[in-house]
Structures are given as C-alpha cells and as structure tokens.
A and B are shown apart, each in its own frame.
Chain A
Amino acid sequence: AQSVTQLGSHVSVSEGALVLLRCNYSSSVPPYLFWYVQYPNQGLQLLLKYTTGATLVKGINGFEAEFKKSETSFHLTKPSAHMSDAAEYFCAVSGETSYDKVIFGPGTSLSVIP
C-alpha cells in the first residue's frame, strides 16, 4: 500500500532563508505526488503536483518540488522564506487504488522567524 513520510513535524526558518520540507513515499505503481498547504483555520489547498513528465515541478507562491524516483522522494523547496509561508504542509500520494484515493503524510508545520 502507498504511504508517505514527512521528516520533521516542525521546521523553523528565518525570513529570507531556504525552505526545505522533506517527503518520502512508497508505492507499488508510478506515483502521483502532491503538496498541499493549510493556513490556520482553513482547508487544504494545492501547492503543486507531479503526474508525469518533467520531474521538477513549480507551484504557487514560489514553491517547487523535484520528483526523484531513485530516492522515492518529493521534497518541497522555496529559495527565500516569507512570513506568509508559515503554515502546515502536507505531502500526498495517489495512483495505487481503483479510485481517486489520496494518502496524506502527517504534515510539517513551518514557522518563519523574522
């Protein structure tokens, strides 16, 4: 069965510093991979997704992620953190079941220090 792990339940970065949120997955089929962001007291919204093709995926708000099959990873990065990036980030995988089921990781809470 598919699964997702996210290293670090809490990550703190200084404003302007690199953001790196780690995601590793397991899947018996070629995965579809997603990063979602959740701002306080809101639902989740899509940041970016990998389906097929280019392994470096660009999303909203300056985020990008690279699919590395050999490392079974899909880490999320942003060159320069902004205060507004403080949120919960979820990595997710799909593609293994007969319907559009998505498996979510436990989430990483990002804090941005001024």
Chain B
Amino acid sequence: NAGVTQTPKFQVLKTGQSMTLQCAQDMNHNSMYWYRQDPGMGLRLIYYSASEGTTDKGEVPNGYNVSRLNKREFSLRLESAAPSQTSVYFCASNIGRGTFSYEQYFGPGTRLTVT
C-alpha cells in the first residue's frame, strides 16, 4: 500500500515552459487535492476533486489546470510556467464521505523551481 505518490520529486522549468505533475493514490479515496506550500503561508488549495469526473477551484487556481483521470489519479498542469509558481506542490486524498472527520493523506511533494 503506497498511499499517495507524486512524480516528479524535483523539477526546474524556464519561464513559459509547461509541465504536468502526476499524483496517484491506492486507498480508494473519493476526494483528491492539489496544494502549494510557500514559506509563511501554510498550504493553499489550488484545485479539488470530490469524485472522478469532477473538479473545483480552490484559493489559488490561476495558471493551473487539473484532470481527474480516474478514481486513482489527479494531475496538475502548468501551461506556461511563471517564477511566481516556484513552490512545493502537494497532492492529498481523503476518503471523501463529506463528514469532515476524515483526515487528508499527503504525498511527498514536488519541488518546482521556475527560472
């Protein structure tokens, strides 16, 4: 049982390049999330997916797109990277029964630098 996995672990992009961050979970969770973590700001929600085929914007969605490919996988795409998107990106999942009492499980993160 691997939990939540993310690829790649590190990435350096030049301004304007595109890339996709991959996330997969093997816990049969319904909900999946993408966060970015910046110093002193905690975690900010980029996008959320309550179930396969549905996605919703979080606090900071601009410059990002997501795809919930199936129940296991939730990818985050940067179409035209900007230096402001330099951050650590975390994927998380939750059983997603809407009761709020279940915790989120996090992947190890992707450290992205945009130059």
Residues of A within 8 A of B (CB): 4, 9, 32, 34, 41-46, 49, 51-52, 90, 94-95, 98-102, 104-107
Contacts and interface: CB of A to CB of B under 8 A. Distances in A.
Contact of A100 (B31, B43, B107): B31
Which of B42, B100, B102, B104 has the largest count of A CB atoms less than 10 A from its CB? B100
B94 A43 contact: no
A100 B40 CA distance: 23
Per DSSP, are chain B's interface residues mostly helix, strand or loop, or mixed? loop
A99 B50 contact: yes
A43 B90 contact: yes
Given A43-B109, A94-B100, A99-B48, A105 B90 contact: no
Contact of B98 (A100, A102, A105): A100
A51 B104 contact: no
Nearest to A43: B106
B-side interface size class: 20 to 34
A30 to B, nearest CB: 10
18 contacts: A4-B42, A9-B40, A42-B109, A43-B4, A43-B92, A44-B43, A46-B103, A46-B104, A49-B101, A90-B42, A99-B50, A99-B98, A100-B96, A100-B98, A102-B104, A104-B42, A104-B44, A107-B42
A95 B98 CA distance: 9
Given A32-B100, A43-B4, A105-B42, A100 B106 contact: no
B94 A100 contact: yes
B63 interface: no
Contacts of A45: 106
Contacts of B41: 106
Contacts of A95: 100
Contacts of A41: 108-109
Contacts of A34: 103
B45 interface: yes
Which 8 A-B pairs give the minimum distances between C-beta atoms? A43-B106, A51-B101, A104-B42, A46-B103, A104-B43, A106-B42, A95-B100, A44-B106
